[in-house]
């Protein structure tokens, strides 16, 4: 039997940057079925911090599900390029999040973080915005 593999679509959103922020994560099994959706309010933070929290939530959930291989899809060019080593992490507030992500990624046999267009990340975006809306409207 093959490795337990998942795909994850992630998004972080902040209104005001910084402002009220949330994350959206869609974890899919190999056959494309949704294993888990996460919509979580973060409080006041920046968009980049929210993007990293979405990545961490996706990696943590994939590991909880027994993942050995994960493909992460994000519309954040900065996050993708930093995690893949194309850009250095220069912001002191992002460095601990980046380091935690690298640690989690090291627990997987294979991990790939890929950039996608916003239009292909609508479901994760909706979850992130739903988390913010539910908090602000409660």
Domain ranges of the chain: 5-136
Confidence of residue 2 (pLDDT cuts 50, 70, 90): low
Burial class (CB in 10 A: 0-12, 13-18, 19+), 50: buried
pLDDT confidence of residue 11: 98
Which whole number is the average pLDDT over 128-135?
A: 97
Reduced to 3 states (helix: H, G, I; strand: E, B; else coil), residue 91 is coil
Q: Tell me the per-residue pLDDT of 12-69, one tens digit each, with 9 for 90 and over.
A: 999 998 999 999 999 999 999 999 999 999 999 999 999 999 999 999 999 999 999 9
Task: Kindly give, in sequence order, each residue whose CB lies less than 8 Å from that of residue 28, ignoring residues fewer than 6 positions away.
Answer: 6, 7, 8, 9, 34, 35
Distance CA(25)–CA(88), nearest Å, equals 25
Confidence of residue 119 (pLDDT cuts 50, 70, 90): very high
CATH of 5-136, one of 3.60.21.10, 3.60.110.10, 3.30.428.10, 3.30.420.10: 3.30.420.10
pLDDT confidence of residue 3: 81
Q: Which residue has the higher pLDDT, 48 or 2?
A: 48
Q: Tell me the per-residue pLDDT of 60-92, one tens digit each, with 9 for 90 and over.
A: 999 999 999 999 999 999 999 999 999 999 999
Distance CA(138)–CA(66), nearest Å, equals 35
116: preceding bond cis by omega (within 30 degrees):
no
Distance CA(73)–CA(70), nearest Å, equals 10
Find where tokens 């995690």 sit: 83
Which whole number is the average pLDDT over 100-109?
A: 98
Contact 57, 38 (CB under 8 A): yes
Q: Which two tokens stand for residue 71?
A: 């493909």
Residue 60 dihedral angles phi and psi, to the nearest 5°: -65, -45
pLDDT at 1 over 50: no
């Amino acid at each position: 039997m093959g490795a337990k593999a998942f795909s994850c679509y992630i998004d972080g959103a902040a209104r005001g940057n910084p402002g009220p922020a949330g994350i959206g994560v869609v974890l899919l099994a190999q056959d494309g079925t949704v294993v888990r959706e996460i919509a979580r309010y973060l409080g006041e933070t920046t968009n980049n911090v929210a993007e990293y929290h979405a990545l961490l939530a996706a990696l943590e959930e994939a590991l909880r599900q027994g993942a050995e291989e994960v493909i992460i899809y994000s519309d954040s060019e900065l996050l993708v390029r930093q995690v893949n080593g194309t850009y250095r992490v220069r912001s002191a507030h992002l460095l601990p999040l980046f380091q935690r992500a690298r640690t989690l990624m090291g627990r997987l046999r294979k991990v790939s973080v890929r950039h996608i267009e916003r239009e292909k990340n609508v479901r994760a975006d909706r979850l992130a915005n739903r988390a913010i809306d539910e908090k602000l409207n409660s």
